Amino acid sequence: MSRRRKIVRLLFVVLVIPLLGVLVWALAIQPLKYAILVHGIETAQTAEEEQAAFVRAADWGRLWEVDRLLPEDAPVRDRGLTGDLYRVEFLPSSPYGGGAYVAYRSVIDTNNLRILREKQY
């Protein structure tokens, strides 16, 4: 094998493979991770499931804000939620939607909110 071919292969390994890894992380793995976290928060049915979803979100995601909302401030898709409505926002932004990852939740047990508030950045 020629010396030039060896250099081209070395450059490929050193430059292209890490770049592909970063792109896969940013465009596939991270959006999937936050989609799973948002889905877990929004679909929890019991206080225990809610607590587990909040713990997972606090451990895996970078929480930015946890805000209490008025019912009229909820997005149209979540207008049917009753009770204490909260907006959980993560720090990273979606490469596809342009905005931050956000979950809306009608909290069952407000004591579970301390899990999120302790892990905010």
Lowest mean pLDDT among 4-13, 78-87, 89-98: 78-87
**pLDDT value for 77:** 65
CA distance 32 to 23: 13
Residue extents of the structural domains in the chain: 3-118
What is the model's pLDDT at position 41? 94
Confirm if 78 and 14 have CB atoms less than 8 A apart: no
Kindly tell me if the per-residue pLDDT of 72 is higher than 80. no
Residues constituting the chain: 121
Work out whether the CA dihedral 55, 57, 61, 62 comes out positive or negative: negative
**pLDDT at position 80, please?**
65
Give me the phi and psi of 65, to 5 degrees please: -140, 145
pLDDT band per the 50, 70, 90 thresholds, residue 118: confident
Q: Cα–Cα distance between 112 and 119 in angstroms, integer? A: 12
Q: What pTM was computed for the model? A: 0.82
